[in-house]
Amino acid sequence: MLREPYYADEHVMLYHGDCREIDAWRGADILVTDPPYGRDWKQGAGLLSGHGGSHSPAGHRGIANDRDTTVRDTALAAWGDRPAVVFGDPLITPPQAARQALVYAKQSDSGVRGALAGFRRDVEMIYLVGKWGAGIGGESSVLRATGLMAGEHGLAARSGHPHAKSTAVLEVLIQRCPSGMIADPFAGSGSTLIAARNLGRRAIGVEIDERYCEAAAKRLSQSVLDLGVPTEEADRG
């Protein structure tokens, strides 16, 4: 029996469920995803803003399938050797077929918890996986997020997901991808889908947690608010 999309418009389809059980995303052309990293992340209540001005009323019990990289690696194995852009933790084993690592640098209010030796935890990796065309030269491999990340007005609060990525950064990545439909089997609150649609690309996503499907559907239905403009006010990752 075919599963009905949780959300659909002329550019985007979003399914609620486990990407290992839903095959529709595998028919796309390019994978752009922020999977569970495998670090078993959880967060207690407390400080959200690096400036000390906002506190969370409750913690977060974690992300589905984040205990290890099994689900990430299963999805990538199903994707095969086609081009993929995959976010990850710098201390966790990269995807097996990774060919290049980029750096996702977040704003100064990020990574203030658990800082060691006075350094914030404010970078993540972006792996280029599978078959990509090689060349000479190019732009910096450090991609910088714009706008606040934490606090009541930050990226997490605006998007409804604790690990939402900058739409502006995702647009830069998608612009470098080959033509075709974008797939995100770990869609979260829909940032990849929004970035793809902003660029006129078709996209298909799957998200296992219904609360994030709901957040993604709400953001996608408010397209006039999500223009992907890389400014502090308009960055809606």
What is the SS3 assignment for 142? strand
Phi/psi of residue 153, nearest 5 degrees: -110, 10
**CA 123, 124, 130, 131 torsion: positive or negative?**
negative
pTM score: 0.85
Does residue 108 surpass a pLDDT of 60? yes
Average model confidence (pLDDT) across the chain: 85
25 DSSP assignment? G
Mean pLDDT, residues 124-138 taken together: 94
- H or E segment at 7? strand 7-8
Which CATH fold topology does 7-219 show? Answer: Rossmann fold (3.40.50)
Enumerate the domain spans of the chain. 7-219
Q: Is 178 left (phi over 0), alpha (psi -120 to 50) or beta?
A: beta
Q: Which residue has the higher pLDDT, 122 or 147?
A: 122
Q: Which of 32-41, 76-85, 155-164, 211-220 comes out lowest in average pLDDT?
A: 155-164
Strands 30-33 and 182-184: parallel
Model pLDDT, residue 61 = 75
Say how far apart CA 139 and CA 142 lie, in whole Å.
Answer: 9
Mean pLDDT, residues 83-108 taken together: 95
Q: What is the pLDDT of residues 169-220, one digit of tens each?
A: 999 999 999 999 999 999 999 999 999 999 999 999 999 999 999 999 999 9
Model pLDDT, residue 152 = 66
Write the CA distances from 60 to 41, 91, 169, integer angstroms.
9, 21, 25
For residues 91 and 101, is the Cβ–Cβ distance under 8 A? no
| pLDDT band, residue 98 (cuts 50/70/90) | very high
For residues 70 and 43, is the Cβ–Cβ distance under 8 A? no
Does residue 50 surpass a pLDDT of 60? no
